A and B are shown apart, each in its own frame.
Chain A
């Protein structure tokens, strides 16, 4: 039973007028490649960047990132 960090950034971008990865990266202050890596779950951002992403979407951190059991299906 492994827990992993997942996120809903792709969905949130879509819900925010199809915000581009570039726009989000500019707002957060990281490169577009870092946003790509975070979205794919290949990179776990620092708390500061995680809070900045949540701030861009004006929602709580736990609505962007979830620590949950790995979905093996």
Chain B
């Protein structure tokens, strides 16, 4: 497994772990009727800190393990694979942005979407964007891993 592929795996696993925990906490707070704006803000702050900590730490570790390849920049094949990943992610992210705009323009939709969640509408829109951005990132990393595995 190349350094690039290992780096993408680390980013993907860190992303899934962090956001799985976040949505797990959100669900738990919602079920116990303790979901407040302050609780969400605290959880989002934790996500930011954990993302920085995990990404920096894990990327340093794999760079130490594979220090020869870590010094190389991206070559033309890496750039092409990154572009394919970004292209696939862009489609899904566009749908998410469109839905967020639609949701903002038609506030009455909140009675149908997330009806039981007691948060301001701005937070619901934010989570709609987060979910699609998260899915887009997962698709980007998965596409890149697919091309590194299969060959490109």
Q: Which residue of B lies closest to A42 (CB)?
A: B151
The 5 tightest CB contacts between A and B, nearest first, are A42-B151, A30-B75, A33-B2, A34-B77, A37-B151
Q: Which residue of A lies closest to B1 (CB)?
A: A33
A33-B2, A37-B151 in contact; A43/B75 too (CB < 8 A)? no
- Selected from A29, A31, A42, A49, the residue in CB contact (under 8 A) with B4 is A31
A40 at the interface (CB under 8 A from B): yes
- Selected from A30, A31, A32, A43, the residue in CB contact (under 8 A) with B151 is A43
- B152 contacts A31, C-beta separation under 8 Å: no
Chain B, residues 9-26, CB within 8 Å of chain A (1/0): the string is 000000000000000000
Chain A, residues 31-48, CB within 8 Å of chain B (1/0): the string is 111100100101101100
- Where chain B touches its partner, the secondary structure class is helix
- A29 contacts B75, C-beta separation under 8 Å: yes
A29-B75, A31-B78 in contact; A43/B152 too (CB < 8 A)? yes
Name the residue among B4, B72, B77, B150 with the largest chain A CB count within 10 angstroms: B77
User: In the complex, how many angstroms separate the beta carbon of A47 from the nearest chain B beta carbon?
Assistant: 11
26 contacts between A and B (CB under 8 A): A29-B75, A30-B76, A30-B77, A31-B4, A31-B69, A31-B72, A31-B77, A31-B78, A32-B69, A33-B4, A33-B5, A33-B148, A34-B75, A34-B76, A34-B77, A34-B78, A37-B77, A37-B151, A37-B152, A40-B151, A42-B151, A42-B152, A43-B151, A43-B152, A46-B76, A49-B76
- B152 contacts A45, C-beta separation under 8 Å: no
Q: Which residue of A lies closest to B3 (CB)?
A: A31
In the complex, A32→B3 CA distance in Å? 11
Q: Which residues of B contact A43 (CB under 8 A)?
A: 77, 151-152
Q: Which residues of A contact B72 (CB under 8 A)?
A: 31
